[in-house]
Amino acid sequence: MTALTLIGLVLAGMAATLHTAFFVLESVLFRLPFGRRLFGVRAEQDSPPLRLFAVNQGLYNLGLAIVVFVGIVLVAIDADSVAGVAVVVSGCAVMVLAGVALALTAPPRMIPIALAQGLPPLLAIGALLAGR
């Protein structure tokens, strides 16, 4: 395994871990006042209709994280696994697209979150492809 591949896998693992945390925030903590405040939902009566979207989005993030973790395991088992790299790159590409969408549509205060969401998987893709 090349150094760049290892760096790419570490960055992909960080991105997947972050998306797992997003799942917890969106699907678990959104039910609590603290979680709602994180997303700018102040009134309790606004919470039930938004909870459906939050849980759904959280599950998307968890699914992406699982895909990336599976790809990492495939590459860890066989460093020459083209399929493993393809799985990691595919999952990371969706994470990058979601980060770009957030950056383009959210208020400016959300730009750091969009960068946190999209930059590690983008760097992971670059390292993994350069390491091939």
pLDDT at 31: 82
Q: Is 40 left (phi over 0), alpha (psi -120 to 50) or beta?
A: left
pLDDT at 83: 96
Q: How many CB atoms lie within 10 A of CB 34?
A: 10
Per-residue pLDDT, averaged over 66-87, amounts to 95
- Which residues are CB-contacts of 124 (< 8 A; sequence separation ≥ 6)? 8, 9, 11, 12, 14, 15, 88, 92
CB distance 18 to 120 below 8 Å: yes
pLDDT at 97: 97
pLDDT in tens, 20-60: 999 999 888 888 888 778 877 777 776 777 888 888 999 99
What domain range is 120 assigned to? 3-130
pLDDT at 46: 67
Q: How many domains does the chain have?
A: 1
Q: Is the pTM of this model over 0.75?
A: yes
Give, rounded to a whole angstrom, the gap between the first and last alpha carbons of the chain.
9
